[in-house]
């Protein structure tokens, strides 16, 4: 139970619960707080496509945590140095874009885990309340580590990725994946659906939570992804959701 205290989201995923979050494209703590207050399980600072830099992350994490949303970050490469800094700032999980090698991800993961499992540096920082909870955090915290499968090569590596003991979830980016497979945006194309099935099977066989980004905010589509068995779901982004809500202005001015 002690371990569960330090990363309850990881335990929800391990128990098979559907956990819904969203991407934060901006570095705005106001956006984070407004979204977290709606009941999201997690919010992910998008450091691949978004505008947030490392100096803005802490305030966003604080705002998310205030309403019980677990703070996560997406990075655009297997950058162990950046991952360590984000974990020290309080991230409970790291999503890595365009992962294509299980061996490379395993090496990266060592930067996220304390010895003897890894080589994460020990510091008194926000993640352990500047030392107040140091012993418990170091002994029991384990981050959610989720490679993103977004290419044909990533699909081919899905089984090896899911078999890594430190992988808790695998996330699929439908636009990037469909584009790499030659059917950009066509999520009903058999090439795409077959690839998704391969990744989901790898997750099921290794007790890893399958993840998916439901880009357009449509509650029926989100429920459909949950019914399909996805457990780690991103529902829209702060910027796209705002634009979707306000898009009626085009009709008024037309």
Listing DSSP states for the chain in one string gives: -HHHHH-HHHHHHHTT--EEEEEE-S--HHHHHHHHTTT-SEEEEETTTS---HHHHHHHHHHHHHTTPEEEEEESS--HHHHHHHHHTT-SEEEESS---HHHHHHHHGGGS-TTT--PPP--SGGGGGGTTHHHHHHH---EEEEEE-SHHHHHTHHHHHTSTT--EEEE-HHHHHHHTT-TT-TTSHHHHHHHHHHHHHHHHTT-EEEEEE-S--HHHHHHHHHHT--EEEEEEHHHHHHHHHTTHHHHH-
Q: What is the pLDDT of residues 7-64, one digit of tens each?
A: 999 999 999 999 999 999 998 999 999 999 999 999 999 999 988 989 999 999 999 9
pTM of the predicted protein model: 0.94
What average pLDDT does the segment 107-116 reach? 97
Is the model more confident about 251 or about 180?
Answer: 180
Q: Which of 11, 49, 67, 140 is catalytic?
A: 49
Pick from 45-49, 50-54, 130-134, 249-253: least confident: 249-253
Domain map (residue ranges) of the chain: 2-253
49 is catalytic: yes
pLDDT, position 2 = 66
pLDDT at 248 over 90: no
**Region 2-253: CATH code:** 3.20.20.60
């Amino acid at each position: 139970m002690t371990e569960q205290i330090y990363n309850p989201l990881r335990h929800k995923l391990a128990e098979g619960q559907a956990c819904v979050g969203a991407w934060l494209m901006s570095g705005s703590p106001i956006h984070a707080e407004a979204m977290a207050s709606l009941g999201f399980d997690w919010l992910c600072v998008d450091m691949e496509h978004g505008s947030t830099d490392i100096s803005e992350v802490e305030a966003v994490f604080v705002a998310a945590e205030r309403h019980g949303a677990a703070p996560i970050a997406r990075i655009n490469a297997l950058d162990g140095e950046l991952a360590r800094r984000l974990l020290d700032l309080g991230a409970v999980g790291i999503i890595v874009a365009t992962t294509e090698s299980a061996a490379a991800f395993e090496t990266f993961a060592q930067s996220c885990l304390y010895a003897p499992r890894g080589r994460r540096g020990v510091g008194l920082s926000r993640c352990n309340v500047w030392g107040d909870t140091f012993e418990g955090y170091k002994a029991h915290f384990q981050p959610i580590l989720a490679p993103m499968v977004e290419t044909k090569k990533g699909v081919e590596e899905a089984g090896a990725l899911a078999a890594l003991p430190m992988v808790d979830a695998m996330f699929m980016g439908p636009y990037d994946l469909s584009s790499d497979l030659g059917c950009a945006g066509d999520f009903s194309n058999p090439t795409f659906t077959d690839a998704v099935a391969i990744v989901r099977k790898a997750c099921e066989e290794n007790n890893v939570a399958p993840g998916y980004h439901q880009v357009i905010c449509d509650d029926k589509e989100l429920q459909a992804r949950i019914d399909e068995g996805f457990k780690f779901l991103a529902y829209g982004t702060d910027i796209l959701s705002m634009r979707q809500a306000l898009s009626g202005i085009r009709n008024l001015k037309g």
